[in-house]
A and B are shown apart, each in its own frame.
Chain A
C-alpha cells in the first residue's frame, strides 16, 4: 500500500504506456471500466447467483443443524418427488384423485390448444425457441391437469394453484381496475392531483402494516363491517373458515396494495400520448371513449404489457398478507408457495423448504419468461418497428 499512496497523481509526468511509471490515479482511470461494474456484478454473484446454486444442494439433501454447522446428506430428488407423489402432495398440488368430466374436458381443451400452438410455431421458430416453447407447453398442460383434477373436481387445491390464483386472477383484477382509474384520472377533472396522491399511497405502505390493517378491517366481530354483516344476517359467516372466501379476501387486500402500481404507470402512459393525436381525433368527432379505444389504448399497449409483466413478477412473491391475516389457513388454503416454504423452514426441514422454493423459482421463471417472450417482446417490436 505504501508505494501506492506516495505516488500522487501528476498528469503528464508519467510516460504513456509504461505501466511502471503510471501514477495511481491514471491506473485507476485506465481500469475504470472494470471498477464501474465490478461491485454490482460481485454483489449479485455472491448474494443472488451463488445462493441460487447453493439452494440446489439444500433441495437435494436432508439438512440437519449440528453442533459444528450444517450436515448435508444427499437424497437425490426425494425432496421434489414428495411434493408430487408422496405425503406432501395434497399440500402442494391439492387432492387430485377423481378427475371428473369437466376436468377431462378442460384438460383436453387446454392440451389441444397448446399442441396446436406448438404445431403452428414449428415453422417460425429456431430449435432453441422450440425448446422454450416445449417447456412452456409442458407446464401449461401440467397445470391444466392439476386444475382439472383438483379445482374442477371440486376438491381441495394446493399451494401451487393458490399461488397461481393470486397471480393471475389478482393481476387481472388489478390491471382492469388500475387502468380504469388511470383513465378516469386522465380525464379533465378538478382535483386530479389530489386523487393521484391518495391513490398512490397504498403501494408504498409497508406490506406488513397492510396485513395487520386488513386483519383488523376484515375482523368479523370487532371490525368496522360487523354491523353490515349483521344487517345481512350473516354475522355467523366466518370468511377465514371458508377457503375460497379467505383466498378472495387475500386477493382483494393484495389488490388494495398493488392497484396503485398499475394506476400510476398507466396514468403516466396515458398522459404521455401526444396531445395532438387526441385533439385531432376530437376535431374529427370522436368521443372520449372512442378516443381511448382507437387512439390512446393502442399506443399504450407496450407499456401496459410491460407493467403487467412487472406486476406478475412481484405477484409470485406474495407472502406477508396470508402470513399475517390467516396464517395460511384455513388449513393451508391461503398459503402461497413462499409461505409454504417458510412454514417448512420453521419446522426445520430445510431441504424440503429449499425444494418448494425451487419449484416456485421454476414456476416464476417459466411463466414470466413465456409472457415476456410471446407477448411483451412482440408488442415492443411492433412499437419500435
Chain B
C-alpha cells in the first residue's frame, strides 16, 4: 500500500449545537477509528451536516469537544485542523482553471511554484484529470468537476477527509462509478474519512461503519451488515433497506406477537401492550391463505427484474414481499404471508427500542 501516513482518530465528545432555540445536535458522542471510512447517515434536518461542519471548524459547537488525532481542536481555525473537505456543490472557483483550483490550498500556504506544479500534476493524475488542467470548471462534466474537488482535497494529504454529500449532484450511473473510485482511493491512502449522506445505498456500500443520526441523536453506530441485520431500534430498521421493512402493529404476549387476532411466533419473550413487529420483504413469502401467519389480499405486483415486489393488504397494514420474478397473482386474490421466526424483529412502540 502506498499510504504515506496512517490515519488519525477523530472523536466527538459530548458535542451539542443549537441555533437559537433550535437544538440541532444533542450530546453527540462518536469515536472514529484511524483510517476508517465512517458515514454519517440521516434524513435532512437530522444534524449530520452540522456535525461535519463542527468537525471542519466552519461551525462552532455550543458545548463539548472535538478531537482530531487526540488533539483538542474545538476552538481552533479550520486551517490548523489538517482536514480537507469536499462540498456538495464542489465549490470550484469558476474563475480559476482546474490546475489553479487544485493548487489553491498550496497557494494560500505559499508553497513554491515549482513544487506546486509537481503536486498538482500528481494529484490530477490520481483522479485521472491530467488532460484537463487548463480547462475552467464550467467546461467540465459533472463527474469531472467531482474529480477536481477530490483532487483539491487530496493534494494536501490531510489527516482527515470530510465529504458533504459529494455524489448527490451526479446522475445515477456516474454515482455508482464514482462510489467505487472513492472507496478505492480512501483505501489506498488510508486517510480517515467522514462522509455525510442521506443515501442509504452510498452509506452501505462505502462505509466501514455507519452512524445513523435522527433529530440530533445518534441512533446506531455499527458496520453496514450489523445495521441491516441487527437494527438497534425501529427508526434504524425502517430507515435502512429498500423496499423498507414491513411493520405490523400489535402486542407482545409471552412468546407470541398478537395482531388482528393472529398469533405469530417470535424468538423474543416478554409482555408489551403496544409493540411493533418488523420483517424485511426478502424474509417473507407469499403462500396459500391458510398457511400464512398473516392473511390478506393482493394489492399490487411490480416486476423489478430479478424479482417481483408483491404488496398485500392485511387489515390496515400493507406488507411488501419480495417474490420470484415469475410470480403472478390477480388483484384482490386472497393470499397469506409466511416468514421464518428467526428473521423477525420486535420493537417497543413507546420508545422504539428493539426487544431482544
Contact = CB atoms under 8 A, between A and B. Distances in A.
Direct contact of A and B (CB under 8 A): yes
B95 interface: yes
Interface string A374-385: 000000000001
B201 interface: no
B108 A283 contact: no
A283 B155 CA distance: 13
Given A274-B89, A276-B89, A294-B108, A283 B94 contact: no
Given A276-B89, A294-B108, A283 B95 contact: no
Interface stretch (A191-199, A264-272, A284-292): A284-292
Residue of A277, A287, A299, A385 most packed against chain B (CB within 10 A): A277
Contact of A281 (B88, B94, B95, B104): B104
Residue of B91, B96, B162 most packed against chain A (CB within 10 A): B91
Residue of A285, A290, A299 most packed against chain B (CB within 10 A): A285
A48 to B, nearest CB: 38
A270 to B, nearest CB: 15
Contacts, number: 60
A275 to B, nearest CB: 9
B79 A285 contact: yes
Contacts of A299: 93-95
B104 A283 contact: no
Contacts of B84: 283-284
A290 B108 contact: yes
Given A274-B89, A277-B91, A283 B109 contact: no
A279 interface: yes
B311 interface: no
B134 to A, nearest CB: 15
Contacts of B87: 276, 279-280
B83 A283 contact: yes
Contacts of B68: none
A290 B156 CA distance: 18
A295 B107 CA distance: 12
B247 interface: no
B109 A285 contact: yes
Nearest to A295: B93
B159 to A, nearest CB: 13
Contacts of B56: 283
A282 B79 contact: yes
A98 interface: no
Contacts of B152: 284
Interface string B75-98: 001110001110111010111100
Contacts of B244: none
Given A290-B108, A294-B104, A283 B57 contact: yes
Contact of A280 (B57, B77, B91, B156): B91
A223 interface: no
Interface of A is mostly: helix
B93 A283 contact: no
B43 to A, nearest CB: 22
Contacts of B77: 282
A76 interface: no
Interface residues of A, number: 18
B58 A279 contact: yes
Contacts of B94: 299
Contacts of A86: none
Contacts of A51: none
Interface in B136-169: 138, 152, 156, 162
Contact of B78 (A277, A285, A294, A298): A285
A75 to B, nearest CB: 55
A105 B41 CA distance: 71
B89 A286 contact: no
A5 B61 CA distance: 72
Residue of A283, A287, A294 most packed against chain B (CB within 10 A): A283
Nearest to A301: B95
B93 A285 contact: no
A274 B89 CA distance: 10
Contact of B108 (A274, A277, A281): A281
Contacts of A285: 78-79, 105, 108-109
A274 B109 contact: no
Contacts of A283: 56-58, 78-79, 83-85, 162
Given A283-B83, A283-B85, A276 B108 contact: no
Given A274-B89, A279-B87, A284 B95 contact: no
28 contacts: A276-B88, A276-B89, A276-B91, A277-B91, A279-B85, A279-B87, A281-B104, A282-B57, A282-B77, A283-B56, A283-B57, A283-B58, A283-B83, A283-B84, A283-B85, A284-B79, A284-B84, A284-B108, A284-B156, A285-B108, A286-B79, A286-B104, A286-B108, A294-B107, A294-B108, A295-B93, A298-B96, A299-B93
Given A276-B88, A284-B79, 11 more contacts: A276-B87, A281-B108, A284-B84, A285-B108, A286-B79, A287-B108, A290-B108, A294-B104, A299-B93, A299-B95, A385-B138
Which 8 pairs of residues, A with B, have the shortest CB-CB distance?
A285-B79, A276-B91, A280-B91, A284-B105, A298-B95, A286-B108, A283-B78, A283-B85
